Copies of this chain bind each other. A is one copy, B any other.
Amino acid sequence: MDSINIKKLAKELGISTSTVSRAFRGNSDINKETKERILKRASELSYQPNHHASNLREQKSKTIAVVVPELANNFFAQAIKGIEQVSREKGYHVLILATEDDYSKEVSFISHLHNGKADGVIMSVSGEANDHTYLNRFSQKKIPLVFFDRVYEDIDTAKVTTNDYDSSYAATEHLIKRGCKKIAYLVVNKSLSIGKTRMLGYEDALKRHKVAIDDQLIIDCSNDHKKNYKLLKEAFHTLKPDGVFASVERLAFATYYVCQDEGIRIPNDMKVISFSSLEIAPLLNPSLTTITQPAFEMGIRAAKLLFKSLEQGPTAHVNEHVILNSRIFRRDSSADKI
């Protein structure tokens, strides 16, 4: 081994390893000059305390894991940015884990976090399954967990979500007021909390305005673009909806592709509104009316909840539920006509 470590550095400087160690820890008493001398030489030799040795000794990793369904999505990218900002301030690292909406990966990730790799977890679930018991094992380990956006309702832990019911109600009402009579609701997994809550807002808005609920118009899609395309093409032809409320961004895109190919004019023939964090929604053809969640802020709040739990120690149990408001941006896709 030709690499540097605390012993060699100590020997070089003619002092003990404890003193060197102290120079790198904020707390301990140490002579200021000694400290400077140590840090200077350490920097020259590009010495840094070994991460694994420190973590082993201190029994913590100063790392939080963030589990999300996907990375190629503005919502999650922004949320992660928020999480990273808070974590950095606290001196923590962020380990990002993307499940690609694969439940088995989610379980695998979480299971492998038991071994000290992370001190806490922030997660937006993939939601493809019903068995969440693996998370109970998790909480036994006293590793705090915070859900954001896509949560498992049956797990009692801290959560950060948006006012999904209200904004879905408002979105549906928006379409109704623009004259839509047959509004389709596009969802990826209607059994998942978020799809369910948003559907409830949709249904209640219909009821309130005495528009009949047609189960056929609730279209259960997948994460596979081609399948969705087929499904929607078929549905649009047979059901001829005059409005579409997409509970996730990708379904709005699928809708646009189908309409483009099938000559369905948005908004003249069909109006569209969608949950979306896309920054270029105004540049789409036509510009897309969106319900936009405060993704960055959600990341910040989730991280703060996690650190609150971390700071309170293993005895406490933080299970606050923070609810932030989304905002509707009205654009051409739901305009009267163009």
**How many copies, total?**
2
CB of B72 within 8 A of CB of A253, answer: no
In the assembled complex, the CB of A79 is this many whole angstroms from the nearest CB of chain B, namely: 10
A116-B260 contact in complex given A84-B98, A286-B285, C-beta closer than 8 Å: no
Q: Considering only CB atoms, which chain B residue lies closest to A73 in the complex?
A: B77
Knowing A71-B81, A98-B84, A141-B3, say if A51 contacts B284 (CB, 8 Å).
Answer: no
- Stretch of A53-61, A124-132, A186-194, A237-245 at the chain-chain interface: A53-61
The interface bits of chain A over 236-267 (1 if a CB of B lies within 8 angstroms of the residue's CB, else 0) are 00000000000000000100110010000000
The interface residues of chain B lying within 8 Å CB-to-CB of A140 are 46
Is there contact, CB below 8 Å, between A51 and B283? no
Could you tell me the distance in whole angstroms from the C-beta of A190 to the nearest C-beta in chain B? 24
Contact in complex: B282, A260 (CB < 8 Å): yes
A282 CA to B284 CA in the complex, in Å? Answer: 9
Question: Is A80 located at the chain interface by the 8 A CB criterion?
Answer: yes
Contact surface of A with B, Cβ cutoff 8 Å: 3, 46, 48-53, 55-56, 61, 70-74, 77-78, 80-81, 84, 93, 95-96, 98, 100, 111-112, 114-117, 137, 140-141, 253, 256-257, 260, 279-280, 282-287
Q: What are 22 of the A-B contact pairs (CB < 8 Å)?
A: A3-B141, A46-B111, A46-B141, A48-B112, A48-B114, A50-B56, A50-B115, A51-B61, A52-B55, A52-B56, A52-B116, A70-B77, A71-B80, A72-B74, A72-B279, A81-B100, A93-B95, A95-B95, A283-B284, A284-B284, A285-B285, A285-B287
Which 4 interchain pairs have the tightest Cβ spacing?
A285-B285, A72-B77, A48-B115, A52-B55
